[in-house]
Structure 1
Amino acid sequence: MAQNCRTKLNILVTGTPGMGKTTMSSLLADAAQLRHINVGDVVKEKNFYDGWDENLECHFINENQVCTP
């Protein structure tokens, strides 16, 4: 069995668009000396989405693409 070499956990913050997730996550990462990655930015940069939700004004994220190493 392979040993996990990570020393820090991933923290995933989810929720409704426009509720302050990015702001809160950035502040939390700074306070805890962690790296902050905005998954929404990665999704847009790499086109990891399957469409657009007109009501929520956000992309439908393709989780398989986002989670594949």
Structure 2
Amino acid sequence: MSRHRSKPNILVTGTPGTGKTTTCSLLSEATNFRHINVGEVAKEKNLYDGWDEKLECHVIDEDA
């Protein structure tokens, strides 16, 4: 069964602390798209696989 998507999925990635969440929140407001913060979802569902010492951020378990 084919589903028609009326709005695109937009994935924003980058180095921690560069303003991705702020930018995506503003984009969401301007376009009426839903904003899903993957980091928040991973934290709520305990989907972390460790800690990256160099980048000082959690590593998300992509297989969970």
| TM-score scaled by length of structure 1 | 0.83
Structure 2 match to 1:44 = 43
Instruction: Work out whether 1:62 is the aligned partner of 2:57.
Output: no
CA RMSD in angstroms, aligned pairs only: 1.1
Q: Which runs of 5+ in 2 are unaligned?
A: none
Q: Between the two proteins, what is the percent identity of the paired residues? A: 66
In the TM superposition, residue 10 of structure 1 has moved relative to its aligned partner by 1.1
Instruction: Report the secondary structure of 1:60's partner residue.
Output: strand
Structure 2 match to 1:22 = 21
| TM-score scaled by length of structure 2 | 0.89
Instruction: Work out whether 1:32 is the aligned partner of 2:27.
Output: no
Query: Deviations along 1:21-66, whole A, 9 cap, x unmatched?
Result: 000010011101111111000011111111011221211111222x
Structure that is richer in helix per residue = 1
Q: Which runs of 5+ in 1 are unaligned?
A: none
